């Protein structure tokens, strides 16, 4: 089976998540679960800030059950505050790479071509400067290693 990678460089995490969500919808609609795989490359800086934010979020969750309130308004205010902070960090995050691996067999060339045409043509992906890496390209091995090391 031939691999083809598509690399998108989004300006922030929010746009990358929207693109991932759209790809997940297409994967379900066209039943291409194993044939289309998506991974994020946030870079070292974003990974460090995300790792630092996770313990803080876990610490806040531990505090919430202890502080019981009698009104629902207090709980919703806390959840709204955490949602806003998540949105702010997503908007403030640096550039995020979205790597998409297309994994179609030899007899599915038309389907692969349709995916290669569909994804970059969408408005959400146009801003991300799409770059397609085929197996014959010189950067294929580097992209393949990068994709395998990502979660």
Q: Give the model's pLDDT for residue 146.
A: 93
Strand order in the sheet with 96-104: 36-41, 96-104, 2-10, 131-134
Q: Give the model's pLDDT for residue 88.
A: 52
Q: Rounded distance, CA 79 to CA 61, Å?
A: 11
* Domain spans of the chain, in order of start: 2-42+94-149, 53-92
Tokens at 80, concatenated: 């709204």
Q: According to CATH, what is the number of the domain 2-42+94-149?
A: 3.30.70
Q: Give the model's pLDDT for residue 148.
A: 93
- DSSP of 60-122: HHHHHHHS--SSHHHHHHHHHHHHHHHHHHHHH---EEEEEEEEE-GGGHHHHHHHHHHHHHS
Q: Give the model's pLDDT for residue 75.
A: 52
How many C-beta atoms lie closer than 10 Å to residue 15's C-beta? 21
Q: Give the model's pLDDT for residue 52.
A: 46
* Torsions phi, psi for 133 (to 5 deg): -120, 115
* Torsions phi, psi for 39 (to 5 deg): -140, 150
Tens place of pLDDT per residue across the chain (151 aa): 678 999 999 999 999 999 999 999 999 999 998 899 999 998 765 444 444 444 444 444 454 455 454 555 555 555 555 555 555 554 557 899 999 999 998 899 999 999 999 999 999 999 898 999 999 999 999 999 999 999 7
Q: Give the model's pLDDT for residue 106.
A: 87
């Amino acid at each position: 089976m031939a691999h083809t990678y598509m690399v998108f460089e989004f300006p922030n995490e929010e746009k990358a998540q929207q693109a991932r969500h759209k790809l997940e919808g297409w994967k379900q609609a066209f039943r291409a679960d194993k044939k289309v795989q998506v991974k994020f490359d946030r870079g070292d800086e974003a990974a460090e800030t995300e790792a630092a934010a996770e313990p803080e979020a876990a610490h806040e969750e531990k505090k919430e059950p202890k502080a019981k309130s009698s009104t629902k308004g207090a709980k919703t205010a806390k959840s709204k505050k955490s949602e806003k902070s998540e949105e702010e960090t997503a908007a403030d995050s640096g550039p995020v790479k979205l790597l998409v691996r297309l994994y179609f067999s030899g007899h599915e060339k038309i389907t692969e071509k349709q995916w290669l045409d569909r994804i970059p043509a969408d408005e959400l992906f146009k801003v991300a400067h799409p770059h397609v890496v085929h197996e014959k390209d010189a950067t294929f091995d580097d992209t393949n290693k990068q994709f395998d090391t990502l979660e």
